[in-house]
Amino acid sequence: MPAYIVWNVDPELLSWPISVRWYGLMFAVGFLVGYEIVSRMFRHEGAPERWLGVLLLWVMAGTVIGARLGHVFFYAWDYYSVHPADIVKIWEGGLASHGGAIGVIVAVLLFSLFTAKRSPLWTFDRLVVPIALVGGLIRMGNLFNSEIFGGATDLPWGMMFVRSREWAELYYGVACHPTQIYEALCYFALFGVLMWMYWKRNAECRPGLIFGVFLVGTFMSRFLIEFIKNDQAAFEQGMVLNMGQCLSIPFVLAGVWLIVRALMRPKVKLEFPNRFAPEPAEKH
């Protein structure tokens, strides 16, 4: 029995009558499930149902725009500074999770300012729960795309990504770490912890605690796994810490600060009417 796995899965789930890729399916499933989770949280705490659609639009826009600009500025500015018109060609690929995280943060700040008119921590503590799930599903999408894998390994779960040009050029005949699975498992475990904190431990009564645990869990996992992951850009070769690790450090530190802050402050008393707040009556 060979001590490796040959990964030869077609990234397309369907090719006719329309093309449906596993990556897009994972992304869509994550948003749909995430919407349902946040909907139950809003109902549980009596937030207006109308906020759900507004928040979804902000988050989708922030995720896509932020992830694209993150790739442009963090990993490929040498190219896009010369070809700025290609920045909008998102269909050609090129998204960065750290940029997506920044985009979501900006989206939540705007949602909190213009719609909820509450502290952004209130929104973050609820939104990051399904985001952990989405992160895991996106990494599974990367697996189906045979991308973002790690270096060579002789572990029995090492994979030969035979559909990957990068693997064929750098590792042909050698199994590599399936770092997409490593990250996905970390994010799925984090999702379970955050759900437990919200529904079983009422951690939302300590503003910023759930958000802080999310930041530490997400970006510490990313920081550690980067040690065995392939460089995402040529300029990262020879760096002690690559770009992904450098970008993860501020998020981890912010998460630690939020956790300490939340635990040192008294709990906030919350009511749980388990129904959406009624819409305000129209003025005539």
* The predicted structure's pLDDT at residue 53: 93
Q: What is the pLDDT of residue 198?
A: 98
Q: What is the pTM of this model?
A: 0.91
What is the amino acid identity at position 39? S
Tokens of 44: 């549980």
Report the alpha-carbon distance of residue 53 to residue 155 in Å, rounded: 45
Q: Is residue 280 part of a domain?
A: no
Cβ-contact 56, 64 below 8 angstroms: no
CA geometry: angle 283, 123, 220, nearest 5 deg: 170
CB 218 within 8 A of CB 132: yes
Distance separating alpha carbons of residues 268 and 172, to the nearest angstrom = 56
- What are 84-142's pLDDT values in tens digits? 888 988 877 787 888 888 999 999 999 999 999 999 999 999 999 999 999 999 999 99
User: pLDDT (tens digit, 9 = 90+) per residue, 52-89?
Assistant: 999 999 998 998 899 899 989 988 888 999 888 889 88
Would 271 be classed as within a structural domain? no
* 88 assigned to some structural domain: yes
Is the confidence at residue 161, as pLDDT, over 90?
Answer: yes
Domain total in the chain? 1
Give the tokens for residue 269: 């008393």
Task: Give the pLDDT mean for 181-186.
Answer: 98
Residue 283 maps to a domain: no
CA distances (Å), 136 to each of 130, 139, 186, 222, in order? 10, 5, 8, 12
Residue 246 lies in a domain: yes
Please, are residues 30 and 130 in contact by the beta-carbon 8 Å criterion?
yes
CA distance 14 to 12: 5
pLDDT tens digits along 248-275: 999 999 999 999 999 999 999 998 999 9
Residues 245/217, Cβ–Cβ less than 8 Å:
no
Q: Where are the beta strands (DSSP E) in the chain?
A: 5-7, 12-14, 20-21, 159-161
pLDDT per residue over 205-244, tens digit each? Answer: 999 999 999 999 999 999 999 999 987 777 777 788 988 8
- Residue-averaged pLDDT of the chain: 92
Would you say residue 282 lies in a domain? no
Q: What is the mean pLDDT of residues 160-174?
A: 95
The parent domain of residue 238 ranges over 5-264
For residue 22, tell me if it sits in a domain: yes
Assigned domain for 166 exists: yes
